[in-house]
Amino acid sequence: MPYKIRKGSMTKIYHVMLRGNDKQDIFYDHQDYCKFLKILKIIKEKYHCEIYEYCLMTNHVHIIIFDRQDVLSKIMQSLAISYSLYFAKKYKKEGHLFQGRFLSKSVETREYLYTLCRYIHQNPLKANIARTEDYQWSSYKEFLFNSKIINPNPILSMFGQTKKEAIKNFIIYHSRKENLINEEVEYEFAYKITDEQVKEKIQQILKIKNVRLFRMYDKDTRDAKLKELKIIKGTSKAQISRVLGINRKIVEKAMQS
């Protein structure tokens, strides 16, 4: 199936995510985290993009990128390939390290960037790994001290007119634990699944060997079975429509009834 063309961003800012294939770990030790950040810095300079924020977790990575040259796919492909080659050589691993293509969502508003800022940095806290301010593998401390990879100014500018004021408010904002999980972000990144995964889930739920057989059902049977697919987490009506090869309006009407 051909890849879906990614919609460009008016701001050229993207929240991107790489995750391990089948949720496998992509970092085993201190050296791995350091290597990934070293590669990220090289890629940033090569493609003249800016990194606004990042957080490296055991089996996935969050990054906010300002892609001034509209080459996001090249940036992420270079990053994934370079680190995968390092990982495969070091651990004698075969097969895909990352799960499919990277996930991305354009950041079109100041409010969404503000939400992402804390959401990404609080990943270690949410996973009960470490407090936000103590975690070593995020950009949090780069906002407070020397910035080696990120450009902190676009995000800090949302917290105050002077650097001192901005950093103070930045720390206060990150100390809050309410609304720790942003539902929109969680849907887009934590639970979103591929067409192939949706296909497999449909076959399991409906006990069919080929999803294309779905089009042979009469209307009542079809609508009843579409309702059964509501339990699939991380998909959308548009994705179900695409996988089944039926009109989206049919899916929407059946699932709303």
Q: Classify residue 8: in a domain, yes or no.
A: no
Same domain, 156 and 207: no
3-state class (DSSP) for residue 150: strand
Split into its structural domains, the chain has a count of 2
Same domain, 211 and 95: no
Instruction: Report whether pLDDT(181) > 90.
Output: no
Indicate the pTM of the whole model. 0.71
User: Would you say how long the chain is, in residues?
Assistant: 257
Measured between alpha carbons, how far is 138 from 150 in angstroms, rounded to an integer?
Answer: 10
Give 190's pLDDT tier (boundaries 50, 70, 90): low
Instruction: Give the model confidence (pLDDT) of 44-67 as tens digits.
Output: 999 999 999 999 999 999 999 999
End of a domain among 173, 190, 207? 190
Instruction: Give the model confidence (pLDDT) of 65-107 as tens digits.
Output: 999 999 999 999 999 999 999 999 999 988 889 987 788 889 9
Tell me the helix, strand and coil percentages in the chain, rounded to 5: 55, 10, 35
Q: Classify residue 210: in a domain, yes or no.
A: yes
Give 4's pLDDT tier (boundaries 50, 70, 90): very low
Same domain, 75 and 119: yes
**Domain extent for 86:** 13-190
Measured between alpha carbons, how far is 150 from 54 in angstroms, rounded to an integer?
Answer: 8
Calculate the average pLDDT of the chain: 87
3-state class (DSSP) for residue 170: helix
Same domain, 147 and 134: yes
DSSP designation for 6: P
Same domain, 45 and 98: yes
With beta carbons less than 8 A apart as the criterion, state whether 180 and 204 touch. no
Give 257's pLDDT tier (boundaries 50, 70, 90): low
Q: Classify residue 79: in a domain, yes or no.
A: yes
